[in-house]
Amino acid sequence: MIFLHFSDTHLGKTNYKLKEREEDYYNAFEQCVNIAIEKKVDFVIHTGDLFDQGNPTHKSIINCIRQLSKLKNANIPLFIIAGSHDMSIDETVISILEEIELVTNLSNPKYYETNQKILLKGKFYKNVFLCGIAGRQANIKEIFENVEINPESVNADYKIFMFHHTISDISTKFMDIPTNLLPKGFDYYAGGHWHTNFKTKYDTGIIQYSGSTEYTDITDMEIPQKKQALLINTMTKTITPMFIKTREIIIEKFDCENMIPKQVTQKCLSLIKNKPYALIIFRPFGRLKEGSKNMVDRQLIREKAKENNYLHCKVYLTDLLNPQEKKLRLLRHSKNIELDYLKTKGYSQKEIELAKIIIGTLGTILKKDGLEKATQKIMAEFEK
Ligand SMILES: [Mn+2]
């Protein structure tokens, strides 16, 4: 059997508010579907973040259905789990797609049983057994600790486990679960959530993250790795990357230590060639000799890029320091990033405490009396 694995398609996402970038995500998704059809695969697996949002735009749903219908017409089933971005307060769009028989959502409760343990009933397709866990974060370690696999899966010739979490083998800093919490005995562990390609051996099989199908943010753009879907042959156990054609993204990072702003501008201008449709991102770093980084003429740089037919030009000055500026040592992924920032800005401890409460109430779903309680808490802190 042959199957295709891809992930993190983030339909509906864009970068820099460009409609062309939104199209790029649809285009990458379409390429994956076309590969599956051309290679006449037996089935496809998607490991979550089909959409970029839990309440996706109509446009992205239409684009998605159009592609999934092509797979259906070619008799190629698609097995999927919901990713962290696919979740909504009430269910996930993926379950709607399942209702109209375009996908099998293995993270749908109908594919597992919860008593004290979580039994993954999964699904048999021909001689393959597939099961998976949705990309939620809450109590995720406990969930994995309590997972049991359908005992009938021993009859399958090939077993696939799908998940949407970062394992400790990738990063101890960003990990959701230690690698050894993955259930044992599978042939293929299909990972999603981590946007770059990653593979390692595990127990009786192999763990494979196919990565996202587009470059979703600046960190992702800076990693020199082609975007891909993976073609797996279960008999020969070969895994072949199928590369996705993506828009050219040029990142120019250069040292500007002891330069003046005008020299930084000149340096950027000199790096602009003629690259139709490419994205160009400048990231100068180092400390300026004089002037201020706001004097770097971003407008002029952007204009020259436009004249040279680039799709878009972005100049990041965050890593460029003014002559007297203290180096802000902000932990990029610190949970207290806002508080660290307020501290560096000289706010008092009391003000920071207050901000902490306010920030803590943002983005949470305020239950009954929630707003009132939050207000009381803020007032109590204020009166201290
Ligand atoms: Mn993702």
Contact 176, 148 (CB under 8 A): no
- As a whole number of Å, the end-to-end CA separation of the chain is 68
Q: Global pTM?
A: 0.84
Total domains in the fold of the chain: 3
Distance of CA 70 from the midpoint of ligand 1 (Å): 24
Q: CA–CA separation, 205 vs 189, rounded Å?
A: 7
For residue 342, being part of any structural domain is answered with yes
Does residue 141 sit in the same domain as residue 229?
yes
Q: CA–CA separation, 284 vs 35, rounded Å?
A: 39
Distance of CA 51 from the midpoint of ligand 1 (Å): 9
Distance of CA 262 from the midpoint of ligand 1 (Å): 39
Does residue 235 sit in the same domain as residue 271?
no
- pLDDT by residue, tens only, the chain of 384 residues: 999 999 999 999 999 999 999 999 999 999 999 999 999 999 999 999 999 999 999 999 999 999 999 999 999 999 999 999 999 888 899 999 999 999 999 999 999 998 889 999 999 999 999 999 999 888 999 999 999 999 999 999 999 999 999 999 999 999 999 999 999 999 999 999 999 999 999 999 999 999 999 999 999 999 989 999 999 999 999 999 999 999 999 999 999 999 999 999 999 999 999 999 999 999 999 999 999 999 999 999 999 999 999 999 999 999 999 998 877 655 555 557 777 778 877 888 888 888 877 777 665 555 556 677 777 777 777 776
Q: CA–CA separation, 92 vs 61, rounded Å?
A: 12
Distance of CA 212 from the midpoint of ligand 1 (Å): 7
Q: CA–CA separation, 21 vs 278, rounded Å?
A: 11
For residue 309, being part of any structural domain is answered with yes
Distance of CA 220 from the midpoint of ligand 1 (Å): 11
27: CATH:
3.60.21.10
- Residues with CB in 5 Å of ion ligand 1: 8, 49
Q: CA–CA separation, 111 vs 94, rounded Å?
A: 14
For residue 327, being part of any structural domain is answered with no
Does residue 313 sit in the same domain as residue 348?
no
Does residue 214 sit in the same domain as residue 291?
no
The whole domain housing 376 covers: 337-383
For residue 116, being part of any structural domain is answered with yes
DSSP per residue, 111-176: GEEESSSEEE--EEETTEEEEE-----TTHHHHHHTEEE-GGGGG-SEEEEEE-S-BTTT-SSS-S
Does residue 182 sit in the same domain as residue 114?
yes
Whole-angstrom CA distances from 164 to 105, 148, 208 are 13, 17, 11
Distance of CA 194 from the midpoint of ligand 1 (Å): 7
Does residue 16 sit in the same domain as residue 79?
yes
For residue 330, being part of any structural domain is answered with no
Whole-angstrom CA distances from 244 to 11, 35, 40, 166, 210 are 15, 9, 17, 23, 12
Does residue 298 sit in the same domain as residue 354?
no
Using CB atoms within 10 Å of the CB of residue 209, give its burial: 0 to 12 exposed, 13 to 18 middle, 19+ buried.
Answer: buried
For residue 326, being part of any structural domain is answered with no
Does residue 206 sit in the same domain as residue 281?
no
Does residue 124 sit in the same domain as residue 186?
yes
Distance of CA 155 from the midpoint of ligand 1 (Å): 33
Backbone φ, ψ for residue 112 (5° rounding): -145, 165
Distance of CA 257 from the midpoint of ligand 1 (Å): 36
Distance of CA 15 from the midpoint of ligand 1 (Å): 14
Does residue 358 sit in the same domain as residue 223?
no
Does residue 293 sit in the same domain as residue 364?
no
Q: Which two tokens stand for residue 249?
A: 């993204």
What DSSP designation does 183 have?
P
